[in-house]
């Protein structure tokens, strides 16, 4: 039990802030008045955002919240998501506009205009119909980052089938459980994709999974790598079936609450949760936020989100948001270090990307590789940078702004979740003087609070739990097939409020800082200390690129802080010595106070991360407490834990 008065300590003080560039502010899509407008009439504000879309039938009621926590948005309205993302732009005369500049890892490219996309989606929709897929059916999609991935999603949306995209890196067991949970009828996959300079097979994993899935009738296979694959009776080649279809198809309007997709989040324990999103509210939310947060000017911007579409960030900000807004996007298949560590900057230079959205884990990796790599490229086209997925450490934020944004571009730190559907808390690039490491304020239309154990708002300067206090259009509607779990997980901790599971603090100005998952909070001598603040203190040392900390059982303090640290590329040899470890521990104590001083620091070559780049602290706790390592099935790279374990004997540093 905590003896501290505080729900979560506020240790890190940050004084830097970056006002928006004047020119961007003057021409911004969303200005400061939007906050007042939304506060005066929240539902009216969201209805105005819904008008960004083309509705076949207008809604009768903006929000039905009569049976919380089960929301209905734009009740009675009808629209088709694929029509909104594709056809209406073609009808508006933008058929020749580029939707995707696609870049394969080996260097092959494809350019898809909105007219191309319309033909491809129509053909794929007709192919799904031929395979017997109907409105309301579920389709699993297990593809690499190739154009057929968004095409498949849109083809499903077009006919009212609900897609469930599964990360191309997941195991056959992970795929099987997701297929079974959603009772999917069809899997769309590929022979493989390119990763790290070589073909990486997908089809064998699907074969293994579907050997045990009674609901799957067909496997639709895209030929990408041309490698040999086993052919089974239920397999159909995309190149045979889809290519011979008509490129005409009339999109059917769907109810605003028609299920658009299910996306599974693994969480820390238990069976994956199938997060259900529906059509009208979701599309409204992602279209609005993509326009507001990135200040998208569809006529001139080239937008790139480097996420994988298997993560919610790809669903909302590679597929539905940008396409609903008629944006020109870049889509890249492979890894950032193939054929060399400058590949991403090369892509930005080549396509003159103006808006770039990536994750802190990638930014810290680039810090580790060194400033000299991005310095070799012309990145002057960039005007807005974004971050998502984890708290961004102030040093990583400043590095990103300086080295990628030339000290000129705003950086928007966007907080949201698979469950929220779209961005919730973020600076607005033309309004906010952003502080490095802070997500700042809920967007106009969004209501969030930081509360203590009792659900009472904490004062400025205090820390606690992040909650969302009003429903929002992009919110999950339930956990697929498990309403009880939906209520219990998100709506039971605090009466009438959505519990996000994240710790947060409000600074003296009332701006919000995210502090990591509450499950990871460390209890040291009666103080609840967030992992984020200690990690940020470590990353603020010039020789540190990345850090992860966990609380390990300690006889004296209850829990003690154990840190895992990756040095920067430029740090040289001295990072191994006892001297340096002491220097680092003192650095943390000086930055945050003695309470946050790590008991132990281990220098490691890598950290265990999910495919979306989140550090899996649970596995590091196993290491810190000398247990055998738990479930590693959602790790991006399963060899990482071996690398860390090898390092252990030499890494102990206690005093």
Annotated binding site for Mg(2+): 539, 541, 544
Cβ pair 211, 169 in contact under 8 A = no
Q: Residue 287 corresponds to which tokens in the numbers above?
A: 């279209």
Q: Residue 28 corresponds to which tokens in the numbers above?
A: 């911004």
Provide the 10 A C-beta neighbour count for residue 620. 26
Name the residue among 325, 220, 320 with its Cα closest to residue 261.
320
Q: Determine the size of the site formed for ligand 6R9 (CB under 6 A).
A: 21
The residue within the footprint of ligand 6R9, chosen from 189, 313, 600, 653 (CB under 6 A), is 313
Residue with smaller CB distance to ligand 6R9, 115 or 182: 182
Residue with smaller CB distance to ligand 6R9, 312 or 562: 312
Residue 2 in 3-state DSSP?
coil
Name the residue among 32, 151, 10, 468 with its Cα closest to residue 165.
151
Residue with smaller CB distance to ligand 6R9, 83 or 513: 513
The residue within the footprint of ligand 6R9, chosen from 413, 511, 535, 546 (CB under 6 A), is 413
Question: Scanning residues 362 to 391, which ones bind ligand 6R9 (CB under 6 A)?
Answer: 388-391
The residue within the footprint of ligand 6R9, chosen from 279, 306, 418, 600 (CB under 6 A), is 418
The residue within the footprint of ligand 6R9, chosen from 241, 379, 500, 562 (CB under 6 A), is 500
Strands of 205-306 (E only): list them.
Answer: 218-222, 235-237, 254-255, 259-265, 273-278, 302-305
Q: What are the residues whose beta carbons fall under 8 Å from the beta carbon of 609, sequence distance 6 or more?
A: 361, 615, 616, 635, 636, 637, 640
Q: Is 415 near ligand 6R9 (CB under 6 A)?
A: yes
Known binding-site residue numbers for CoA: 195-198, 313, 525
Q: Give, as one character, the DSSP assignment of residue 497.
A: S
Q: Is 312 near ligand 6R9 (CB under 6 A)?
A: yes
Q: Provide, rounded to whole angstroms, the least separation between the CB of residue 317 and ligand 6R9.
A: 9
Known binding-site residue numbers: 195-198, 313, 389-391, 413-418, 502, 517, 525, 539, 541, 544
Question: Which x/- pattern over 609-638 shows residues binding ligand 6R9 (rule: CB under 6 A)?
Answer: ---x--------------------------
Residue with smaller CB distance to ligand 6R9, 167 or 238: 167
Known binding-site residue numbers for ATP: 389-391, 413-418, 502, 517
Q: Provide, rounded to whole angstroms, the least separation between the CB of residue 420 and ligand 6R9.
A: 8
Count Cα atoms within 13 angstroms, Cβ side, for 652.
5
Residue with smaller CB distance to ligand 6R9, 219 or 286: 286
Question: Scanning residues 47 to 106, which ones bind ligand 6R9 (CB under 6 A)?
Answer: none
Q: Provide, rounded to whole angstroms, the least separation between the CB of residue 274 and ligand 6R9.
A: 13
Residue 469 in 3-state DSSP?
coil
Chain centroid to Cα 643, Å, comes to 26
CA–CA gap between residue 53 and residue 325 (Å, rounded): 9
Q: Report CA-CA distances (Å) from 590 to 302, 517, 524, 541.
A: 43, 25, 17, 11
Q: Provide, rounded to whole angstroms, the least separation between the CB of residue 311 and ligand 6R9.
A: 6
Q: Provide, rounded to whole angstroms, the least separation between the CB of residue 381 and ligand 6R9.
A: 24
The residue within the footprint of ligand 6R9, chosen from 261, 400, 416, 490 (CB under 6 A), is 416
CA–CA gap between residue 426 and residue 52 (Å, rounded): 21
Question: Which x/- pattern over 458-497 shows residues binding ligand 6R9 (rule: CB under 6 A)?
Answer: ----------------------------------------
Q: Provide, rounded to whole angstroms, the least separation between the CB of residue 330 and ligand 6R9.
A: 19
Question: Scanning residues 263 to 302, which ones bind ligand 6R9 (CB under 6 A)?
Answer: 265
Q: Provide, rounded to whole angstroms, the least separation between the CB of residue 503 and ligand 6R9.
A: 9
Q: Give, as one character, the DSSP assignment of residue 86.
A: I
Return the range that interacts with ligand 6R9 (CB under 6 A); candidates 132-140, 311-319, 374-382, 518-526.
311-319
CA–CA gap between residue 496 and residue 326 (Å, rounded): 37
Q: Is 216 near ligand 6R9 (CB under 6 A)?
A: no
Residue with smaller CB distance to ligand 6R9, 417 or 600: 417
Q: Report CA-CA distances (Å) from 189 to 165, 221, 238, 472.
A: 10, 5, 9, 33
Name the residue among 66, 43, 123, 111 with its Cα closest to residue 328.
111
Q: Provide, rounded to whole angstroms, the least separation between the CB of residue 653 and ligand 6R9.
A: 29
Q: Residue 155 corresponds to which tokens in the numbers above?
A: 């083809």
CA–CA gap between residue 448 and residue 468 (Å, rounded): 4
Residue with smaller CB distance to ligand 6R9, 615 or 624: 615
Return the range that interacts with ligand 6R9 (CB under 6 A); candidates 52-60, 254-262, 500-508, 519-527.
500-508
Q: What is the dihedral of CA 473, 475, 481, 482, to 10 degrees?
A: -130
**305 dihedral zone (left: phi>0; alpha: psi -120 to 50; beta):** beta
Question: Which x/- pattern over 513-552 shows residues binding ligand 6R9 (rule: CB under 6 A)?
Answer: -x--x-----------------------------------
Say if residue 183 is exposed, middle or buried (CB neighbours under 10 Å; 0-12, 13-18, 19+). Answer: middle
Residues at the contact surface with ligand 6R9, assessed by CB under 6 A: 265, 311-313, 388-391, 413-418, 439, 500-502, 514, 517, 612
């Amino acid at each position: 039990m905590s003896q501290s008065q505080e729900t979560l300590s506020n240790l890190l003080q940050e004084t830097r802030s970056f006002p928006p560039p004047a020119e961007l502010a003057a021409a911004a899509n969303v200005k400061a008045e939007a906050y007042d407008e939304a506060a005066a009439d929240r539902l009216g504000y969201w209805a105005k955002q819904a008008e960004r879309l083309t509705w076949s039938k207008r809604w009768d009621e903006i929000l039905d919240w009569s049976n919380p926590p089960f929301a209905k948005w734009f009740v009675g309205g009808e629209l088709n998501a694929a029509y909104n993302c594709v056809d209406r732009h073609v009808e508006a005369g933008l058929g020749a506009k580029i939707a995707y500049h696609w870049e394969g890892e080996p260097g092959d490219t494809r350019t898809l205009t909105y007219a191309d996309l319309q033909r491809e989606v129509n053909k794929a929709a007709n192919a799904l119909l031929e395979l017997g897929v109907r409105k309301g059916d579920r389709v699993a999609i297990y593809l690499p980052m190739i154009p057929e991935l968004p095409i498949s999603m849109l083809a499903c949306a077009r006919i009212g089938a609900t897609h469930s995209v599964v990360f191309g890196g997941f195991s056959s067991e992970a795929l099987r459980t997701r297929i079974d949970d959603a009772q999917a009828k069809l899997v769309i996959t590929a022979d493989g994709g390119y990763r790290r300079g070589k073909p990486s097979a997908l089809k064998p994993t699907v074969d293994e999974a579907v050997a045990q899935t009674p609901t799957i009738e067909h496997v639709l296979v895209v030929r990408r790598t041309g490698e040999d694959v086993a052919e089974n009776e239920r397999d159909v080649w995309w190149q045979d079936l889809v290519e011979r279809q008509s490129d005409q198809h009339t999109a059917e309007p769907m109810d605003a609450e028609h299920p658009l997709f299910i996306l599974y989040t693994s969480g820390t324990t238990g069976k994956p949760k199938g997060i259900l999103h529906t059509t009208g509210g979701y599309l409204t939310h992602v279209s609005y936020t993509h326009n507001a947060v990135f200040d998208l000017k569809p006529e001139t911007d080239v937008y790139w989100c480097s996420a994988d579409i298997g993560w919610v960030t790809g669903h909302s900000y590679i597929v539905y948001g940008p396409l609903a807004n008629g944006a020109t996007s870049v889509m890249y298949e492979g890894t950032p270090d193939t054929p060399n560590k400058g590949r991403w900057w090369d892509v930005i230079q080549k396509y003159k990307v103006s808006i770039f959205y990536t994750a802190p884990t990638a930014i810290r990796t680039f810090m580790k590789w060194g400033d000299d790599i991005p310095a070799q490229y012309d990145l002057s086209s960039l005007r807005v940078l974004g971050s998502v997925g984890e708290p961004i450490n102030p040093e990583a934020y400043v590095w990103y702004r300086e080295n990628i944004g030339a000290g000129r571009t705003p950086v928007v730190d966007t907080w949201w979740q698979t469950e929220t559907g779209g961005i919730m808390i973020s600076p607005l690039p033309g309004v906010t003087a952003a502080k490095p490491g802070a997500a700042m304020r809920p967007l106009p239309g969004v209501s969030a609070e930081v509360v203590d154990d009792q659900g009472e708002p904490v004062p400025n300067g205090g820390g606690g739990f992040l909650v969302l206090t009003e429903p929002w259009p992009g919110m999950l509607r339930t956990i697929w097939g498990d309403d009880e779990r939906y209520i219990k997980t998100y709506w039971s901790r605090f009466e009438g409020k959505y519990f996000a599971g994240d710790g947060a603090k409000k600074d003296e100005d009332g701006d919000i800082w995210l502090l990591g998952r509450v499950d990871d909070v460390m209890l040291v001598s009666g103080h609840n200390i967030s992992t984020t603040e200690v990690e940020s203190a470590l990353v603020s040392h010039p020789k540190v690129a990345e850090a992860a900390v966990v609380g390990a059982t300690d006889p004296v303090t209850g829990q003690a802080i154990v840190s895992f640290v990756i040095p920067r590329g430029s740090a040289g040899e001295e990072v191994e010595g006892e001297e340096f470890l002491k220097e680092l521990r003192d650095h943390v104590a000086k930055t945050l106070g003695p309470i946050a001083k790590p008991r132990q620091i281990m220098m490691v070559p890598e950290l265990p991360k999910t495919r979306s780049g989140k550090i899996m602290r649970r596995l590091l706790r196993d290491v810190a407490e000398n247990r055998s390592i738990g479930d590693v099935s959602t790790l991006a790279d399963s060899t990482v834990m071996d690398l860390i374990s090898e390092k252990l004997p030499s890494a102990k540093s206690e005093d």
